[in-house]
A and B are shown apart, each in its own frame.
Chain A
Amino acid sequence: GAGVSQSPRYKVTKRGQDVALRCDPISGHVSLYWYRQALGQGPEFLTYFNYEAQQDKSGLPNDRFSAERPEGSISTLTIQRTEQRDSAMYRCASSLMGGGTGELFFGEGSRLTVL
């Protein structure tokens, strides 16, 4: 596609439910990143992939968070047993080059609200 696409744009869920956030990167981009951004703060790194391989998941807050990119394109960030503190904007970005180079192109984000 023309840009990074994320869905849903808005998700409201009840505490304890699982949620899945989807990211469709720019076609041909090797690297895909997930960030979480609180209001008034910069993006906080969660995890990233080169092709289908998860290179670094050190930013995932705990084991309720997981991500996959099974075919090296679309990625899903899953949050199990959501808690109110998980409420945030979740942003996906992709980069043409792998190996830690190149700028990131961001999607519009998925705003998660946990009640």
Chain B
Amino acid sequence: EDQVTQSPEALRLQEGESSSLNCSYTVSGLRGLFWYRQDPGKGPEFLFTLYSAGEEKEKERLKATLTKKESFLHITAPKPEDSATYLCAVRNNNDMRFGAGTRLTVKP
């Protein structure tokens, strides 16, 4: 059965303190791994799609990487406005399944 596991559940960082979020997955027929950002009370907002092992995508302070079993979302020198829940999702041949998310808090 397809599974998406995110760690840690919650992460508190000081402004400027770089770190990484993990997404481990098992899926038959991976057709993309997606990262989303979700702010409280809002719907998830698309960040990146990765399709094959070794692929990397960057956007401002965020960089997503992909291996055959996991993806990392690296946050470099985060700012308080990066505080949000970050969701990982995998798309197989039929649908898109989400992990439970990592709740990131960046303190000034």
Contacts and interface: CB of A to CB of B under 8 A. Distances in A.
Interface in A36-65: 40-45, 48, 55-56, 58-59
A41 B100 contact: yes
B45 A56 contact: no
Contact of A91 (B43, B100, B103): B43
Interface residues of A, number: 25
Nearest to A95: B96
A107 B91 contact: no
A45 B95 contact: yes
A104 B46 contact: yes
Nearest to B2: A45
B98 A33 contact: no
Contacts of B49: 103
A58 to B, nearest CB: 8
13 contacts: A4-B43, A42-B89, A42-B99, A42-B101, A45-B95, A55-B94, A56-B94, A91-B44, A100-B31, A100-B92, A100-B95, A103-B49, A106-B43
Residue among B32, B44, B89, B94 having the largest count of chain A Cβ atoms under 10 Å: B44
A105 B46 contact: yes
